[in-house]
Amino acid sequence: MNRLNCTCLVGMLTALLVMQSPVLAGGYIQLQNVPESLWFPSREGSNLLLTASVIDAKATSVWLGIDDPKLGRVPLTRVGPIDYQVNLHSNEVFDLLKQAPARGEFRIFAETDGGEVLASIPVSFVVNVPPTRLSIDKKTTFTALQKRYAYLPGSRDRLRVYAGDITHGQITLSVFGRDRNVPLVPTTRLYETQHIVLPLDDETYVIEVEALHNYLMGDDYADLSIAPEAEWHRDKIEFLLNAIDQSEFTFIRNGKPFDGQSAAKHLRNKLATSPTPVTKVDVFIEDFASRSSMTDEPYKVLTADGRELELGQWLRSLLDGDIEATPKLEKSSESAEAVQQPQS
């Protein structure tokens, strides 16, 4: 075969290979210096540069983002004709990623001059800090098995509640982040309707024991709920007002008897005319539902068996979970107390 024929054959084979090779439609993003593992928070003062190259496309903007675009993005800095960089240990990146699940993924995105949005392969990371708030805005119920951990709703798997032994109508609860040795809320013994408070950076929440289930056979478990603190207090105030409204007991104000509907209406009027909003159930009981604002005489409730109780005491009994509102509650003398935390 002469040189001319050989050259022609090579050219034909090359053309055939090009035709049969897949052709990428549009551009793509290539990542460099991807860490083998990525944990947050990072060591103070450390840096970790990630480089993204936008291939076969002209990028107008490049950014780091997670699945939910509403949580924000971190722009990358252009360092070359097609190269962009971001410091993964920057505060901007940490502030974004700590809104994601404990074990999450981010991608590098690029918008091209043609309006197309390109995305890189996902990069995994682990965030080892509590969220600043939960992604819930109202009361949410969940179940916790005895002597097990359960993820808190809205925490993106970054907070867990430990439910201890359920016995004698009570349970121990504690809240942890990823570190089981450092509780965010100390282990507390609770009865049904009692609660613990979980403070986070941007919001405070209340975890309440709704019901306990203790069986001779099978797994014991607790029905729990969590709500923003303000929402929890509003619910409790409304609960107490409804209890008064629906009660068949007689309520006494300044020596005069009233039925439940009249008593509840009076208290609602006091709340409506208050110069400042009442946001705490304790404030409602102490400052609005315990005594007359005109005479300072305590409000009373006359029960069906003839006992006369102060209304404030009766309302607190309701909060303690006694539907009959008897004045001596076995559980009220044993308030939530700190006990030894569970073994990790």
Question: Is 47 in the same domain as 89?
Answer: yes
Q: Is the pLDDT of residue 9 over 50?
A: no
pLDDT confidence tier of residue 18, bands split at 50, 70 and 90 = very low
| Pairing mode, strands 221-228 and 140-145 | antiparallel
pLDDT reported for residue 319: 84
Q: How many domains does the chain have?
A: 3
The mean pLDDT value for 32-50 works out to 90
Dihedral of the alpha carbons of 302, 307, 312, 314, in degrees to the nearest 10: -90
pLDDT for 242 beyond 90: yes
Indicate the angle between helix axes 229-246 and 260-272, nearest 10 degrees.
Answer: 150
Q: Are 119 and 197 part of one and the same domain?
A: no
- Residue 224 within a domain: yes
- Render pLDDT for 168-217 as a digit per residue (tens, 0 to 9): 999 999 999 877 888 999 999 999 999 999 999 999 999 999 999 998 77
Claim: this prediction has a pTM higher than 0.85: no
Q: For residue 253, tell me if it sits in a domain.
A: yes
Query: Stretch 290-294: mean pLDDT, rounded?
Result: 92
**3-class SS of residue 335:** coil
* Mean predicted lDDT score pLDDT of the chain: 85
* The two three-digit tokens of residue 269, written as one number: 């009027």
Q: Tell me, yes or no, whether 31 and 123 share the same domain.
A: yes
Last residue of some domain: 183, 204, 228?
228
Q: Inform me whether the pLDDT recorded for 19 exceeds 50.
A: no
Q: Which two tokens stand for residue 158?
A: 């970054």
- For residue 199, is the peptide bond before it cis, meaning its omega torsion is within 30 degrees of 0? no
pLDDT digits (tens, 9 = 90+) for 109-141: 999 999 999 999 999 998 888 888 999 999 999
> Lowest mean pLDDT: which of 8-17, 180-189, 231-240, 268-277?
8-17
Within this chain, do residues 103 and 34 fall inside the same structural domain, yes or no?
yes
Number of alpha carbons in the 13 Å side-chain half-sphere of residue 90: 15
Claim to verify: residue 269 and residue 196 sit in the same structural domain: no
Residue 339: inside a domain = no
Residue 281 has pLDDT above 80, yes or no: yes
| Cβ(101)–Cβ(157) below 8 Å | yes
Does residue 156 sit within a domain?
A: yes
Would the pLDDT of 335 be above 50? no
CA pair distance 122, 101, nearest whole angstrom:
14
Judged on CB neighbours under 10 Å (0-12, 13-18, 19+), 87 is middle
Please tell me whether residues 67 and 119 are part of one structural domain.
yes
Q: At 344, is the pLDDT very low, low, confident or very high (cuts 50, 70, 90)? A: very low
Q: Are 99 and 168 in a shared domain?
A: no
- Pick the closest to residue 251 from 296, 295, 309 (CA basis): 309
Lookup: tokens for 333: 């003398």
* 32 and 123 inside one domain: yes
Cα(9)–Cα(13) distance, integer angstroms: 6
DSSP 64-83: EE-S-GGG--EEPEE-SSSE
Please check whether residue 324 lies inside any domain of the structure. no
Tokens of 203: 């919001």
How many Å apart are CA 240 and CA 268, to the nearest integer? 11
CA pair distance 239, 340, nearest whole angstrom: 33
The answer to whether residues 216 and 150 touch, using CB atoms and an 8 Å cutoff, is no
What per-residue confidence (pLDDT) applies to 244? 93
User: What does the pLDDT read at residue 322?
Assistant: 61
Domain final residue, candidates 198, 228, 258: 228
Evaluate if residue 5 carries a pLDDT over 50: no
What is the predicted pLDDT for the residue at 211? Answer: 95
Do the beta carbons of residue 196 and residue 207 sit within 8 Å? yes
Instruction: Tell me how many degrees the CA angle 43-47-52 measures, rounded to the nearest 5.
Output: 135
In this predicted model, which residue has the larger pLDDT, 200 or 338? Answer: 200
End-to-end C-alpha distance for the chain, whole angstroms: 78
Asked if residue 112 and residue 37 are part of one domain, the reply reads yes
Alpha carbon of residue 341 to chain centroid: 22
Shared domain check, 268 and 245: yes
End of a domain among 92, 127, 162?
127
Q: Flag whether pLDDT at 325 surpasses 70.
A: no
- Sign of the alpha-carbon torsion through 156, 159, 165, 170: negative
Helices 229-246/311-319 angle, 10° precision: 120
Shared domain for 90 and 160, answered yes or no, is no
CATH number for the domain harbouring residue 41: 2.60.40.10
Residue 178: inside a domain, yes or no? yes
Position 325 in a domain? no
Does 15 map to a domain? no
Do 195 and 206 contact (CB within 8 A), yes or no? yes
Identify the domain containing residue 146 by its residue range: 140-228
Give pLDDT, residue 324.
Answer: 52
Q: Give me the residue label for tokens 């099978």.
A: 218
Q: Look at 236 and 327; give whichever has higher pLDDT.
A: 236
Measured distance CA(106)–CA(120) in Å, rounded: 9
Q: Are residues 277 and 312 in the same domain?
A: yes
- The answer for residues whose C-beta is within 8 angstroms of residue 267's C-beta and 6 or more apart is 241, 244, 288, 289
